[in-house]
């Protein structure tokens, strides 16, 4: 089943891991609902589905037969294993998916506790984007390369010089104006 089909299938045709199947039809239904009710974004839904499939396959290979047998130490062991194989953002995403699934199953009465609630991952935050910043002189080279003898060149030079974002420009329509820092108007044609 492709990831895009997750939102349109019925619980009976939804591929569930063996450990979920073993838990019975109520758990299977709650598992299906988890991917269709609380997660609105299709990309998040697909990523969480893959993460949970991977986790539950690992759990089954480790010899667990029932969802109730999964403990915090089980989740922590999986995260330790995953940290050796994947980037920190991937580990965080997997942990978020696992934590959210077990929270959902706990809230719906399938499990007595959420074994992922107390498990922590390494701290990760991106303070800089992936795009490197300009080094000294590169901005001036870019501005000097623009032919300022044409209206288009003057416009481009003003846009680059004042750092207007592409998202702002993409939303502009004909005859809208943008106020630049020096309070001059720039008309976008």
Provide φ and ψ at 169, rounded to 5°. Answer: -65, -35
User: pTM of the prediction?
Assistant: 0.61
Q: How many residues does the chain have?
A: 189
What does the alpha-carbon distance between residue 134 and residue 80 come to, in Å, rounded to a whole number?
A: 37
Q: Nearest Cα to 168, choosing from 153, 148, 188, 150?
A: 188
pLDDT at 189: 44
DSSP letter at 113?
S
What does the alpha-carbon distance between residue 31 and residue 157 come to, in Å, rounded to a whole number?
A: 55
CB atoms within 10 A of CB 28: 19
- pLDDT mean for each 10 residues of the chain (189 residues): 49 77 92 89 91 95 93 94 92 94 94 90 66 74 80 73 60 55 48
- Listing DSSP states for 49-77 in one string gives HHHHHHHHHHHHHTT--SGGG--HHHHHH
Q: What is the pLDDT of residues 108-118, one digit of tens each?
A: 999 999 999 98
Q: What is the pLDDT of residues 38-61, one digit of tens each?
A: 888 889 989 999 999 999 999 999
pLDDT at 111: 93
Burial class of 98 by CB neighbour count within 10 A (0 to 12, 13 to 18, 19+): buried
CB atoms within 10 A of CB 186: 16
Please state, in angstroms and as integers, the Cα–Cα distance from residue 145 to each residue in 135, 139, 187, following that order.
Answer: 16, 10, 22
**Residues linked to residue 178 through DSSP beta bridges, in sequence order:** 186
- Which three-class secondary structure string do you get for 136-171? CCHHHHHHHCCCCCCHHHHHHHHHHHHCCCHHHHHC
pLDDT at 163: 64
């Amino acid at each position: 089943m492709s990831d895009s089909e997750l939102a349109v299938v019925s619980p009976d045709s939804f591929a569930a891991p063996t450990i979920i199947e073993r838990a019975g039809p109520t758990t299977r239904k709650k598992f299906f609902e988890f991917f269709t009710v609380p997660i609105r974004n299709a990309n998040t839904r697909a990523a969480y589905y893959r993460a949970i499939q991977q986790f539950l396959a690992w759990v089954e290979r480790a010899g667990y037969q029932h969802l109730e047998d999964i403990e915090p130490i089980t989740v922590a062991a999986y995260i330790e294993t995953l940290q050796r194989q994947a980037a920190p953002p991937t580990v965080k995403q997997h942990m978020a998916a696992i934590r959210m699934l077990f929270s959902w199953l706990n809230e719906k009465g399938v499990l007595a506790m959420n074994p992922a609630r107390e498990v922590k991952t390494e701290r990760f935050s991106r303070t800089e984007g992936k795009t490197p910043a300009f080094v000294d002189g590169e901005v001036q080279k870019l501005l000097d390369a623009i032919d300022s003898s044409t209206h288009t060149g003057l416009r481009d030079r003003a846009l680059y010089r004042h750092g207007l974002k592409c998202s702002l420009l993409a939303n502009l329509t004909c005859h809208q104006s943008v106020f630049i820092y020096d309070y001059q108007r720039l008309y976008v044609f």
